[in-house]
Amino acid sequence: MLTYYCPQCWSEVAANERVCPHCGYPLDEFRQQAFEDKLLAALHHTLPERRIMAAQILGNLKSERALPEFIKIIEGNEEDYFFLRAVLLAVVKIPHPDRIKILQRASQHPSRLVSDLAKELLVDLNEGHVNVQRWDRHTG
Ligand SMILES: [Zn+2]
């Protein structure tokens, strides 16, 4: 059996405890953040499927911490269209004002497939009818 410790007061805590019974530390939030950290690291995984999956989950979690990473990926040397596509679809799911800026940058992407997708998503966002399910269906 694994033993868990509160990261604030170092008391032993049950694995499913939401809040530390000793000091009130929000363990749930901590776990969520640790999970997010792993996903953010997985964006640079050597296996493309892992990178794609990490981007998708970060989008579903509406992770604002992922946005700066997504900008770097879009503006970097990434050439895997399926990964870039997963990143753009994740950006759309994160309700943060920066997402428009990120899509605008992506619409200047050297890959025609990426720039066209970004433009389509921008039109959808501007018209207020982003249907993420519609895009998800085309993923992978
Ligand atoms: Zn504690």
CA of 8 to the centre of ligand 1 (A): 5
Write the pLDDT tens digit of every residue in 97-117. Answer: 899 999 999 999 999 999 999
Which bin fits 24, alpha (ψ -120 to 50), beta or left (φ > 0)?
Answer: left
CA of 23 to the centre of ligand 1 (A): 4
CA of 22 to the centre of ligand 1 (A): 5
Q: Categorize the per-residue pLDDT at 140 as very low, low, confident or very high, splitting at 50, 70 and 90.
A: very low
34 and 64 housed in the same domain? no
Q: Categorize the per-residue pLDDT at 35 as very low, low, confident or very high, splitting at 50, 70 and 90.
A: very high
CA of 9 to the centre of ligand 1 (A): 4
Quick one: which of 92, 28, 30 has its CA closest to 66? 92
Q: Categorize the per-residue pLDDT at 125 as very low, low, confident or very high, splitting at 50, 70 and 90.
A: confident
66 and 20 housed in the same domain? no
56 and 29 housed in the same domain? no
DSSP tag of 16:
T
User: Would the pTM count as exceeding 0.75?
Assistant: yes
CA of 12 to the centre of ligand 1 (A): 8
CA of 51 to the centre of ligand 1 (A): 34
Domain residue limits at 87:
50-138
Please state the domain count of the chain.
2
| Residue 137: alpha-carbon gap to chain centroid | 18
72 and 133 housed in the same domain? yes
Helices marked H in 22-139: 27-42, 48-60, 66-75, 81-93, 98-106, 112-126, 132-138
CA of 133 to the centre of ligand 1 (A): 40
Neighbours of ion ligand 1 (CB under 5 A): 6, 8-9, 20, 22-23, 25
77 and 131 housed in the same domain? yes
Q: Is 140 exposed, middle or buried (0-12, 13-18, 19+ CB in 10 A)?
A: exposed
35 and 82 housed in the same domain? no
CA of 47 to the centre of ligand 1 (A): 37
| Rounded mean pLDDT, 15-20 | 92
56 and 118 housed in the same domain? yes
11 and 57 housed in the same domain? no
Q: Categorize the per-residue pLDDT at 126 as very low, low, confident or very high, splitting at 50, 70 and 90.
A: confident
